[in-house]
Structures are given as structure tokens and as C-alpha cells.
A and B are shown apart, each in its own frame.
Chain A
């Protein structure tokens, strides 16, 4: 069975990095040079795609979408038929934290689909403030989702996210 996982979140939250980290094969990326200052040199404008084999019968398609809202037409077709979602939030970034509210609504995130929130760039601080703000947003929406502080560059973080999604799915 092939299942679809979306990686969503604001610009620079680590979506491309975590997909490259998780993918069994070389991930497809659509990064281009940024013409404005967004805090990094490259930005995703199409779709990132990676593939992860879970076991002999299950594989996951890992879809990363652009963080900028102007590319939300890409979000539209990624959100169809989602098995699970991973929302990445950049630590201490007020725009990234505020974007969570919008993304939860846009992608119809509910308790019915496995979803994990990862706080990235935590090496720049402890992450406590960001986690608190995320939990406030989730509370307003009556959602109870796991929130982890992660390093998108590390295999251990990526594996933690995927193991959690599978565990949530099995318990649903």
C-alpha cells in the first residue's frame, strides 16, 4: 500500500531537509535561488518528493510543499488523499508560529488523520516558548497533537516523526 504524507510549514522550517533525510531514494527537489531575503539561499517552488519503504507491504510518498502562500495551488493537490501530515514550525519565528493556525485549517487537520508537529531550529534556543504557543493554537482548535522539538538534519528526528505517525495510525 502506498500512503501519502505531506510536509508543510513556513519558509525555512526544514521540509526539504527532512524529506531528503527520510527518503530511501534520492529525493526530487524543486529548489531555486531566492530573489528576496528569506534567510536562506534556496527556496522550494514546486514539490519535494521522497519515498520511504516502511515494510514489505507499505511505502510512504513524502510530499513537501512550498512554504509561501502564493504557491498554495500546489498545496491544493497535495492535500488530496492524505494519509498523514507533518507540520514544521521554525523556533521563535513569530510568522512561522502564526502560520500554523492557517495551515491546520487549509489542510483540514483533525484528530482523524495522523499528524505531528515538529519545532525546528531549536539549536538557537530551548524551544519552550514556541511549543507553548503551538499548544495554545492547538487548544483553540480542540486538537491534541504530538509536538516535538527536532533537528530536521538528523535521522533520529526524522525517524521519531515517522514512528509517531505510524503509532497514531495504528491506535486510531
Chain B
């Protein structure tokens, strides 16, 4: 199955509305794919580096403090939230990050992002 990251982003945005940014990053902080909503600007490299660091720290907290397995990290702000979950792409550990607009529905975001993470584990993305 081949898809484009842009189409996956658009499909997700019809369900969640007002996604500002969606990106797929290697676990060591390199951007693989990134899409931003209209008018939203973010430094992609910085987003990838931050996602990589925060996910690694969350992983360490989950394992060493909670004796559990990391699932997701949420950062809540007055302007929306940022969510990071682990996934795999072409067999390599990756991070899927989403930045939402204001008034996000956390439950929906978690559900659809996990669904997308599962798709990414088997899909091959075109560069379109």
C-alpha cells in the first residue's frame, strides 16, 4: 500500500479539525514527513528534535519510574496541545507528533493518532 503523508494528514484533519501540524520523525530526531495547517509555521527540524528528546525522556520515566511501557506524551497549553506517540515506519522506531488548535478533544486525538500510527507501521509513503 502506498499513500502520501499529505493525504493522511488531510484525512486526519477531516476527523479532528484544526490540526496545526503533523510530523513523522525518526527516534533520533530527523524529520521524515511533515505537514502544517494553513498559516501555521513551525521549524520542522526543531519540532523533530524536541519530539525526539521528550519522547526519550517520557520513555525513561515510564520504564524507570513507573515500571511500565511508554505510550504517549501530551503537552497542554491554552492554544492547543501537542501529542507524541511512538510508531514504526519501515521497521524503524519513529515518533508521530501532532500539534492541535485550541479546544482539542484529547480522547479523539489519542484515538485517531493511534489509528494513524498503526497504519504507518505497514504503509509505504510516497514523497508527494
The chain A residues found within 8 Å of chain B, CB to CB, are: 26, 28-36, 43, 45-47, 66, 68, 70-71, 73-74
Task: Point out residues on B near A: beta carbons under 8 Å.
Answer: 26-30, 45-46, 49-50, 52-54, 56-57, 59-60, 64, 92-93
Please indicate the chain B residues that have their CB under 8 angstroms from the CB of A28 in the complex: 60, 64
Decide: A66 and B53 in contact? CB cutoff 8 A: yes
Q: Is A43 touching B49 in the complex (CB atoms < 8 A)?
A: no
Q: Which of B28, B29, B46 has the most CB of A within 10 A?
A: B28
Q: Could you give 27 example pairs across A and B, Cβ below 8 Å? A: A26-B64, A29-B60, A30-B60, A32-B28, A32-B52, A32-B56, A33-B28, A34-B28, A35-B28, A35-B30, A36-B28, A36-B30, A45-B49, A45-B52, A45-B53, A45-B56, A46-B52, A46-B53, A46-B54, A46-B56, A47-B53, A70-B29, A70-B46, A71-B52, A73-B46, A73-B50, A74-B53
Within the assembled complex, what's the spacing in Å between the Cα atoms of A12 and B49? 18
Interface centre among A26, A31, A34, A46 (most CB of B within 10 A): A46
Contacts of B27 in A (CB 8 A): 32-33, 35, 45
Chain B residues with Cβ under 8 A from A36's Cβ? 28, 30
Set of chain B residues within 8 Å of A43, measured between Cβ atoms: 28
Q: B92 near A33 (CB under 8 angstroms)?
A: yes
**How far is A73 from B50 in the complex, measured between Cα atoms in Å?**
8
